[in-house]
Structure 1
Amino acid sequence: MGVVYSWRDLWVMVRRFQRDADTATSRAIHGEHWSVTDQLLAVLVDTLQFANWQRAGKKSAPKPKRFPRPWEKPKGHQFGRDAIPISKFNDWWNSKKRKRR
């Protein structure tokens, strides 16, 4: 016969899994966890990329991008400014259907 857990046992396990940063439950609830070492390494990578870009001296070279952090949302993803009026929505929707075919 299997082990029977009470509701309190379940509650205690979930609370404990949330606190431990290495569990899937914690990552699902709180997001990716970076240790202090991971954060310092990301800063180091950013600094080295910027220093190398600066020393290269090429004015046409693009400025290096930061090492992506899991808690930062990527910039540049904009789907639209305002809502589409209903009178224009049907035309827009039908034009998208024709392009997919």
Structure 2
Amino acid sequence: MSNTKYDQRKDLHLWFGLSYAAFLVMPRVAMMEMPKEWQEKMAELLNQYDETIDTSAFGVKGCRVQALTGEGKLMKMPDELLNYRHPSPEVKAQLLLPHED
């Protein structure tokens, strides 16, 4: 028996929950609001992924993302999520969850 304690923060399956989701999508504008150290770690992980996985397998060249309302209906992607180059301070503030210190 292993003495290693289960750490749910390291369980990738939890990011997909109990859904049948096959993809994880993260808006660039939100990722750019993360600390520089996090961005560097994420870039390293994405490079490891790219060096290991052939994403063109099965003839797939790319994927598209569609936005859904809370009721699961299609909606136009909010401009706030598309404008990753020049997000306003209000958009940046809205993206960040409050943290308890």
Question: TM-score range, shorter-chain basis?
Answer: under 0.3
State the TM-score, normalized to the length of structure 2.
0.19
State the TM-score, normalized to the length of structure 1.
0.19
Instruction: Determine which structure has greater relative contact order: mean sequence separation of CA pairs < 8 Å that are 6+ residues apart, divided by chain length.
Output: 2
Question: Structure 1 or 2: larger helix share?
Answer: 1
